Structure 1
Amino acid sequence: MTEPTTGRRRTFAPVALLGLASAGLAAVAGHRAWVTLSASSDSDYSVLRLTGDDSATVPLAGALALVLLACWGVVLVTRGRVRRSVAGLAAVVSAAMVVTAVLGVGSASDGLRDDLTRLGVDKVSTSVGVWFWAYLTGAVLAVASTALAVRWLPAWPEMGTRYDAPGAAPPHERTDLDLWRALDEGHDPTLIEHRPGDP
């Protein structure tokens, strides 16, 4: 094995941990309110408490982060073409997260203002909250980690076949020696073997 390949194999754990951490951060921040409010009077504050945070959230952001978490889970336990395909999907999802963050914060602010206007509150200012910046940070780190995964994934270690589901491996081809051994042990090699649990 060449030295560059060995070096790329060592990147598996750091990149996977970065990807999982960034997706987890984005999943938490994507379900929180991205916009905070300030009102001009006590009566306005009482109305703000009635609105809740639903208008200031971006549901798509949290959903994309959960999809990214699922992609990382698949990348960790699969091999070959499936693994490469899911890594590519994770890169697309992480890029969509950045776009959602940029476009979603404006729509969350506008939607909250519209809801408050319907309630008769017109002197309210909004500002971008800390959860938006947490989501954007997670999304940017997700783009970096998935891009590295797509580039280095062919050199990463794969889970062994012993973890495959029973029956996933091709059946063992019996040789003439196996047939003679079966006869010596008193078994008829022409009969179909039934494994425990088979119907």
Structure 2
Amino acid sequence: VNAVSVWLKLKIRRHYKIHEMSFTHGVADAPLKVTGDAPNETGTEVSFMPSTDTFTMTEFDYGTLEHRLRELAFLNSGVRILLTDKRHSDIKQEELRYDGGLQAFVAYLDRAKKSLVDKPVAIHGEKDGITVEVAMWWNDSYHENVLCFTNNIPQRDGGTHMAGFRAALTRQVVSYADSSGITKREKVTLQGEDCREGLTAVLSVKVPDPKFSS
């Protein structure tokens, strides 16, 4: 952000002190300095003005910000995000906090649809420092809606975790249908698309050193 801003100001509350620093066109105006006390607060505040030399449009869209911050609130259960727009006389403010995590996320995505199961299916696992979370819910539509995230960053085109999720889901559903005699009784052969029909899912992985190819 600093490199593409006309100015940027940092206010850091840490170790019971307030530290501040400012930049102009990416260059520090002065070294970081202590400007006050912060006995009961921690955190970092960043203020900046996008540069018109880099961006053709520097006006922020409230709807875009709300959508992205809502995703982050769902992906980080319990985190409170406050979005405030003071650009106009009619001030907008939205508080975003969801303690239900990915289960609350899929419930939000399917809020206007008829579910086929009582509540979302949630799975959580961790191995070799990599955390995987997924929540799934089926509705009575024919549309598949699967959202993928790596370290809170959306992957619109999926990735290896999406491919692995789809393969595992198909394998488990087909295995159950075969072992229970459903496929033989109904004389059907299930494909991956059949298992994902009406599926809404959110898949989130947290990895220490991600590799992005898109």
TM-score by length of structure 1 reads 0.30
More helix by share: 1
More strand by share: 2
TM-score by length of structure 2 reads 0.28
Larger radius of gyration: 1
* More relative contact order, 1 or 2 (CA 8 Å, 6+ apart): 1
